Amino acid sequence: MSLSAAIALILAQTASAASEPPPARPPRLPTKSEVEAQVKAHFAKIDLNGDGKVDREEAEKAHAAAVAEFQARRKKRIEETFAKLDADGDGQISRQEFEASVRSRPIPKESWFAATDIDRDGTVVLNEALAKALRAFEAIDINGNGVISSEELRASRQRRVSSN
């Protein structure tokens, strides 16, 4: 695997983080030595047999592990958010809990609740929240590989701007 391919692999993996909210201030771009250190560390991690080469099987395993890790982090964030919204801990978000959580936020209450309460029973359960979040993710992840690339994110933003 060439150094440029390794850099491309790292950049592709970090592009998946683009689905997360942007930081309060722009991140500092890495220096050449930091990029080199990151590539070496990542390469060592994916070179499973330590032979100094990454074959297709090792690359596929590394990709699958990265996708699984990303999905686990996303699921954890969704579950944590759900737990915060579910004030009484009954496994459901009632309209009252939802409205209480968004009073100070400029989010249209009705649109999120209505779109997420799939069975229209007046509550949102975790599976409904997950389904809504995954639909949004899959709408951006055009190639369906479980990772949002910078190109997919850019295209999604363009579609939103075009539709407004």
91, part of any domain? yes
Position 76 scores a pLDDT of 92
- Reading the block at residue 121, the tokens are 């029973």
11, part of any domain? yes
Could you give the percent of the chain with pLDDT greater than 70? 76
pTM of the model: 0.44
CB 130 within 8 A of CB 83: no
At 6, the pLDDT band (50, 70, 90 cuts) reads: very low
Q: Verify that 80 and 49 share a domain, yes or no.
A: no
20, part of any domain? no
Host domain of residue 141? 67-164
CA pair distance 35, 125, nearest whole angstrom? 43
For residue 105, is pLDDT > 80? no
CB 58 within 8 A of CB 48: yes
